[in-house]
Structure 1
Amino acid sequence: MFPTLDIQQPRPFDLVGSTILIAGNAAGFEGTLSITVSEGHDEVTGIASVGSLGLRQFQASIYIPDATAFQLTRIFVTIADDTGNENGPSVVIPVLFGPRILAGYSGWQPYTVRAGDTLTGIAQSQYGNADFQPIADANQNTLANPDLIFPGQILRIPRNDI
């Protein structure tokens, strides 16, 4: 049996902004999928249109109008076949919410760790202060301990337009 929801974007632990782009292949009941973004406290909902006959590519987005809509940096994007049935197929993808990680979040850039680097030093060079928490939060899926980084490791450095 083929899956009716093949979500290709976002990928687990992607660092996303206020507009979350969603893409993949789906077959939705009457051509619609439900999209819910939640972190256990609050949620934002939307819909995506897909063809109802067979698996088709789709693209959608959901806009989170306020960075304070969520209390946590890790949120969950749920895409579900809108069957009106709680047991319909769904996919849940954990993502990291950039606007909750860094005020004015506008994207991220990769940084390759060099010998002698520390998160505090990287933060100082990138932000002009020693607050490494945005970097740690943006890489929480790969940094078990912020004191343990290694040369060659690629970190996501959140950027802002402030």
Structure 2
Amino acid sequence: MDGPTTRRPVTVSPRRIEVRQPQQNDVIGMNFVIAGYGTGFETTVHWRVLDNNGNQLGDGNIQGAGSTGVIRDFGNTVTLGNTPARGMHVSVQVFGDDPSGIHPPGTDLNIIHATLFTSLEGFKLYEVKSGDNLTKIAREEGQNTTTNDIFEANRDRISNANLIFVGQVLRIPLLT
């Protein structure tokens, strides 16, 4: 072996936009909050929500992010239009502007996968117990909640609706 190996430091460009909410695989309603920190061109951060086919369900801007390299917290309540959804898987995209227009959607694209329910009041967490199945959980723990609602809200945790395990923590949508 030749002499000692010289390691070069790895430099990682810090992201200019980071999303704290929603988080991956969250359950969201037609009104939800996008929050994080970052810097955007002219203090603007953009958002859009796409369904699984790439159709845009809503878009907008969040004013008040930092600019010229200054990073600030941002938050914005998003209201989507009348999109009937009961367990629809969507992508929430949050990104900066590319003033050149060459690389849309812009810098620092954040993609958060979520499950959208039109009539969501909220959700609760439930730990699976011995003897549970999704039907029993929907009936006893849900609010206008079906077995399929629980399955869709937990696709990252359940691959088969008939196969859940004691100790698993599931999101139970509470619907109006």
Give the TM-score normalised by the residue count of structure 1.
0.86
The match for 2:98 is 83
* Equivalent position to 1:43, from 54, 57, 71: 57
* Deviation of 1:129 (Å): 8.9
Deviations 1:117-154 (CA, angstroms, capped at 9, x unpaired): 11122223235999411111111111011111111111
Deviations 1:50-69 (CA, angstroms, capped at 9, x unpaired): 1213221111121013242x
1:118 is matched by which residue type in structure 2? Answer: N
Higher Cα Rg, which structure: 2
Q: Structure 1 vs Structure 2: percent identity of aligned residues?
A: 29
Please show how residues 6-155 of structure 1 align to structure 2 within 5 Å.
Answer: 6-39=18-51, 40-49=54-63, 50-53=65-68, 54-68=70-84, 73-84=88-99, 85-87=101-103, 88-89=106-107, 90-99=109-118, 104-126=119-141, 131-155=146-170
- Single out whichever of 106-115 and 53-62 deviates more from structure 2: 53-62
Q: Greater helix share, 1 or 2?
A: 1
Structure 1's consecutive aligned runs of 4 or more residues displaced over 6 angstroms after TM superposition are none
Give the TM-score normalised by the residue count of structure 2.
0.80
SS at match of 1:124: helix
How many residues get paired? Answer: 156
Unaligned runs of 5+ in 1: none
Please provide the CA RMSD for this pair.
2.2
How far apart, CA to CA, are the structure 2 residues paired with 1:128 and 1:38?
A: 27
Note if contact 2:89-2:113 (Cα within 8 Å) is conserved in structure 1.
yes
CA 1:83 to 1:145, structure 2 compared with 1: closer, same or farther past 3 Å? same
